[in-house]
Amino acid sequence: MPSAFPSVDACPSCGSSGAVRRKLLLIDEAWVAAPGKDPRLAHFADLRVDDVKPELLSDHPLEQFIEGLYCDACGRGFVTEETLTASSRKLGTRGVPFPPAE
């Protein structure tokens, strides 16, 4: 799996510069519409498989594990904008930080 990490200087959530490290993150599965499935749930997850560039995903059944970054200072995982598909970046609702800051 290729890496999508330029150098990351600080955590986007807490700003800590010395506590960020690479980590394998578990994200939600891709959204698949189905009869009786509430379509509002498509936007419930912080980050889904279909938000990540396909070339950065592992093969099935491990596509939910992506190479991300983790901040030991605040305990939050995140991905860089370069990891996301163009449509996810355009929405501005995915990626950094993961989960979203409160």
Structure-token pair, residue 10: 């600080």
Contact criterion met (CB below 8 Å) for 97 and 78: yes
Q: Where are the alpha helices (DSSP H) in the chain?
A: 86-91
Over 80-98, what HEC string results?
CHHHECHHHHHHCCCCCCE
Express each pLDDT in 30-56 by its tens digit: 777 789 888 777 666 678 888 889 999
Locate the domains of the chain by residue range.
25-91
Q: Is the pLDDT of residue 73 over 90?
A: yes
Q: Provide the sign of the torsion angle of the four alpha carbons 54, 57, 58, 60, taken in this order.
A: negative
pTM comes to 0.67
Structure-token pair, residue 98: 């993961």
